[in-house]
Amino acid sequence: MAQLSFFRRPAAVLSCASVAGLLLLGGCASAPVPKEQLAVAEAAVKQASSTATGEGAPLELRVATDKLASARAAVASGDMTRARQLAEQTELDARVAELHAQTTRSRKAAEESQNAARALSEELDRKVVR
């Protein structure tokens, strides 16, 4: 029995060492290129640039385009995890730029409506006084 236990122990140690080695090698494997996230980020920046340019969100749009450039640089340097994070941040920043531009347009439209209503009210007041 002592001999049987002796032979099992090295096999168990070898098995554990093999599993540990595979886990270490798997951990060293690099993440894949975040193609989908980059494509979504690029589309979001393109959409935002068509609505945000000159509409009160140029700063937000610039932040998004800068992060997209950083994501591409991270891909080029092989840091796929960072590239994925930057691509996701780019998408969010582009959406912020787009929403900021829409808010600015809505405020301008509301101001124009208020001015038109005020002008109409003044015109009516003048006609009633005459």
Domain extents in the chain: 1-30, 35-129
41 and 84 Cβ atoms separated by less than 8 Å: no
Interval 8-43: pLDDT, tens: 555 554 454 555 554 444 445 568 999 999 999 999
pTM for this model (two decimals): 0.66
d(CA 68, CA 12): 49
Please say if the pLDDT value at position 7 is more than 50: no
Average pLDDT of the chain? Answer: 82
Please say if the pLDDT value at position 56 is more than 80: no
**SS3 call for 57:** coil
Nearest to 70 by CA among 82, 57, 52: 82
Q: Tell the residue number behind the tokens 């975040």, with chain if given.
A: 34
74 and 83 Cβ atoms separated by less than 8 Å: yes
pLDDT of residue 51: 80
